[in-house]
Homo-oligomer: A and B are copies of this chain.
């Protein structure tokens, strides 16, 4: 499991799809927002928490279909399935690698990018914290969706369709936490709820994904 995790991270870094790219995508979304919405500073500060969360979500989403897709196409997944490693562990290793290369850098960079959108540093800290708690859920749910759409070619959009409604609660609580913080209100309830979603996803989804992978390889 550890080996698979490190291999996946190695592959991500090696093929130029590592830590940097998710970040840069995030940056670009943040940069495009003022173009799309107009440059008014106070308006930007108002939308900043939501936009940053949405950007993180989309950055995750863009890289989902590669979680299992590449291994499926070149036959590695068949071989992994016949190896002593259970498919549940394969799922966990891959979701973890995805989080480390996507969610973690996004969470760490978010407070800095928040400055571009006129977000206060205090809110930025809450943003970072909420992303740290929430992006594991995004990776776990996303990898689950990827395991469902494995056999479908051009499954990218289907994957988005399946996964996005599942992302709704995480997004709501995440944006809510930062929003409350930026208004000076308490924000611990949404944070706890995000954590609960991440933990719940980690508890249930490995089994669901294991079954889905086995079915898809059949």
- Assess the B32–A171 pair: CB atoms within 8 A: yes
- Assess the A165–B28 pair: CB atoms within 8 A: yes
- Assess the B28–A54 pair: CB atoms within 8 A: no
What number of copies of this chain does the assembly contain? Answer: 2
For A69, give the chain B residue with the smallest CB separation.
B154
How would you classify the secondary structure of chain A's contact residues: helix, strand, loop or mixed? helix
A47-B47, A54-B33, A54-B36 known; A63-B28 Cβ under 8 A: no
Which B residues lie within 8 Å of A65 (CB)?
A: 156
Q: Give the segment of A11-19, A135-143, A190-198, A199-207 that binds chain B.
A: A11-19
Q: Which of B57, B70, B161 contacts A32 (CB 8 A)?
A: B57
Which B residues lie within 8 Å of A59 (CB)?
A: 157
Complex CA distance for A49 and B37, rounded to whole angstroms: 8
Q: Report the minimum CB–CB distance from A179 to chain B (whole Å).
A: 7
Which B residues lie within 8 Å of A36 (CB)?
A: 49-51, 53-54, 171, 175
- A22 interfacial by beta-carbon distance below 8 Å: yes
- A218 interfacial by beta-carbon distance below 8 Å: no
- 15 A-B pairs (CB sep. < 8 Å): A15-B152, A15-B153, A16-B152, A17-B153, A17-B154, A24-B161, A25-B160, A29-B164, A32-B171, A36-B53, A37-B50, A58-B58, A62-B160, A66-B156, A70-B154
